Amino acid sequence: MIQCNFTRLALSAVISACSVATLCASEMPMQAEFTDTTSRELDPVVVTGTGVHQRLKLTPVPVEVITGNELRNAGLTDIQEALTMMVPSLSFSPTAMGSYLRMNGLTNSHVLILLNGRKMIGDISGNVDLGQIDVNLIKRVEVLNGAASTLYGSDAVGGVINIITAEAGEQSEFTTNSRYTRDGQFNQGLDLALRAGKVGSMTAYNYSHSDGWQNSNLTQSGDELVETLAQLSLGYTSNNLSQKFTYDPTDRLKIYAEGSYYNRLLDRPVERPDITGGTKYNTFSESFSWGAGASYSLGQLGQIKFDYSGRTYGQWYKYMMQSGDFLPGDYYKTKRQNYNDAELRGLFNFSESSNTVFGLDYRYETLDRPESDLNKGLGTFSAYAQHEQRFLNHFKVLAGVRYDLHHEIGSRLTPKVALMYNTGNFNVRGTYAMGYRAPGIDELYYHMLKPMGSRHIITFGNRNLKAEDSNYGSVNFEYRTGKVSVAVTGYMNFVKNMVTSSSTKFTALDKDAQDALISEFPEILDIKQSTLTIKEYYNFSKATVKGVEANVTVTPLAGLTLAANYTYAYGSGLNDDGSWQRLNRSVMHTGTFTANYSHTWGWYRFNANLNGRVQSKTYYPGDADGDAPGYGVWNLTTRHTFSCFRRFTLTPGVGIDNIFDRRDMRPLNSNFALYSPGRSLVVSLSVTLK
């Protein structure tokens, strides 16, 4: 069937190409020729490392960059897949509700995800719902490894991922992007950029759908394998609409306002009496965001910026069959998060050889959890300063400090120091930074009993939790020219007071403890007590991550770019008994590889992109379901751009995901790292009207 589909697809592509060529030939007098560009810009402008826009080669804090052009060349329309295939320090493992992010061995709660420099919220099982990000709008993704709380506050312990989106350009244009592959995976993006004098507008809509899939229809039940309805990847449908206006009333003043709406409905199998793995309800997620800001240029002295952003994210059960008092089609709210952030920042150039950042920030977040009778808010006030100085022609030094006053954990200081030595094409960088993470509202205040499939969990928060602290140090060596970039980074990250949880079976408690819980949660008497677990949060002593990263990018020929990235990370945590063990879900060895070729013949551009990821096993220490095996996945994408039309550019594409058909076929109770459905034919079409 795959071979048959491939033959049909290839024939269709040939016929389409011939038709396009004929049309282009008829419009030759109006043709527009391309200017060749490489697939990877070796020295882009970045902002995440220092808070100031600088060339990558000149920043004293190393940052990894993925450009929007690279995402398009690779045919990637899903942000999780993009980060997986292009950033080796990141890994994802699936859960029943979403995917679990890790960065250099540390959990999703230690990685801060920003959208245009503003913190994102909206978690699924503790992970930020990345579906809120429209990949078609991405201008670049900047990945900063290590602690970065001096600029970004809480959660920046293991690293920062800053996703920067495009704005309206100098001219108006409309773009549509479509992508389809197996199992009903379809993505459609519509982007409209308008420019009228000093006013710009960017409107974007993205629709995404997947039917979901099973690689195995078996799961473990006791000592035997039984058939299940559960899917390795759940089906879903999502909609994402965003709007941004910009207004430049003067050469010095720039103003913007923006907002977005997003929803996502999981499509889980319906419960059946004859087979396990079904459920009575689907999960519906919905978010709204809004924001506004302005920047005022002080000329050569610098600029002043103000930004305000807000986001609300809610989750509901949508019942597919009757459950208690709920009828099919009924919704039940399970969680709502709100987050508001106002920041005033000054960027100053007090001399030609320095830049200085001052900032004031106030954040307020709330969590409404009806099952826990919890509706609580916490705020944080922050002030920070950072100075970067160049001296003796070859050196840069950066020093900064942040003061945070958190409503629950009190005040704290987080410093950062970086030193860079440059000579010709060589850079040497050294960084020390502190990071911290304030306990979440859930970890502090939860008090609830919740069904989790066939199990039940009582969760207790802990008002006495301490903030997590990290001390991060790294050394970076880099050689960079117009055609070659080589970088090696060694780092160590020491984290203490990590927040974790313990689980105890209800049946393992003594009678007094059981009776006390029953008095708090009388519904215990109505459930099977062998399925009940008590979860409690606490701080354990410390964890350590040590690692090395190596990155090589070369352009040996005009139009050809080759890139290879490797990460070694060893993460371990100290148990209560004094023993050390691997961090849960950590990966030791990971590599990503890209080969991109682009060439132009007049009004036709050809682009071929080979992209791969190879990683070792994922550790699940002490888990009865075992470790997740390593894997290697390779994707090939070709894009064919025709610019001969009078008012639009046409780019059809065809490719193969997972060329070597790697799949994890183990029973669904196993731990997974790879959840590809196997080899997949991919077709895409992009049209731009100007």
pLDDT of residue 239: 97
- Distance, in Å, from the CA atom of 666 to the CA atom of 671, rounded to the nearest integer, reads 9
- Distance, in Å, from the CA atom of 513 to the CA atom of 376, rounded to the nearest integer, reads 28
pLDDT in tens, 473-510: 999 999 999 899 999 999 999 999 988 888 888 989 99
Contact 112, 155 (CB under 8 A): yes
pLDDT of residue 14: 42
pLDDT in tens, 183-222: 999 999 999 999 999 999 999 999 999 999 999 999 988 7
**Average model confidence (pLDDT) across the chain:** 89
pLDDT of residue 540: 79
pLDDT of residue 25: 47
Residue 28 has pLDDT above 60, yes or no: no
- Work out the pLDDT band at 29, boundaries 50, 70, 90: very low
Range in 30-34, 47-51, 485-489, 635-639 with the lowest mean pLDDT? 30-34
- Distance, in Å, from the CA atom of 667 to the CA atom of 654, rounded to the nearest integer, reads 32
- Work out the pLDDT band at 676, boundaries 50, 70, 90: very high
Contact 365, 337 (CB under 8 A): yes
Residue 668 has pLDDT above 70, yes or no: yes
- Which of 78-82, 295-299, 570-574 is modeled with the greatest confidence? 295-299
Mean pLDDT, range 439-452, rounded to an integer? 88
What's the farthest any 2 CA atoms get from each other in the chain? 89
pLDDT of residue 5: 43
pLDDT of residue 450: 84
pLDDT of residue 39: 44
Contact 50, 60 (CB under 8 A): yes
Residue 685 has pLDDT above 90, yes or no: yes
Mean pLDDT, range 316-331, rounded to an integer? 94
- Distance, in Å, from the CA atom of 83 to the CA atom of 74, rounded to the nearest integer, reads 12
Residue 308 or 7, more confident: 308
Residue 287 has pLDDT above 50, yes or no: yes
pLDDT of residue 119: 92
- Work out the pLDDT band at 15, boundaries 50, 70, 90: very low
pLDDT of residue 94: 61
Mean pLDDT, range 157-163, rounded to an integer? 93
- Distance, in Å, from the CA atom of 273 to the CA atom of 665, rounded to the nearest integer, reads 25
Q: What share of the chain is helix, strand, coil (3-state, %, to 5)?
A: 15, 60, 30
Residue 374 has pLDDT above 80, yes or no: yes
H or E element that contains 225: strand 224-227
pLDDT of residue 628: 93
pLDDT of residue 1: 43
Mean pLDDT, range 90-106, rounded to an integer? 73
- Work out the pLDDT band at 683, boundaries 50, 70, 90: very high
pLDDT of residue 33: 46
Residue 100 or 379, more confident: 379
Domains, the chain? 2-689 (2.40.170.20)
pLDDT of residue 624: 78
Residue 156 has pLDDT above 80, yes or no: yes
Residue 43 has pLDDT above 90, yes or no: no
- Answer yes or no: pTM beyond 0.95: no
pLDDT in tens, 386-435: 999 999 989 999 999 999 999 988 999 999 999 999 999 999 999 999 99
Among all chains, which residue has been given the structure tokens 């003061």?
403
- Transcribe 232-259 into DSSP letters: SB-EEEEEEEEEEEEE-SSSSEEEEEEE
pLDDT in tens, 558-603: 999 999 999 999 999 887 778 888 888 899 999 999 999 999 999 9
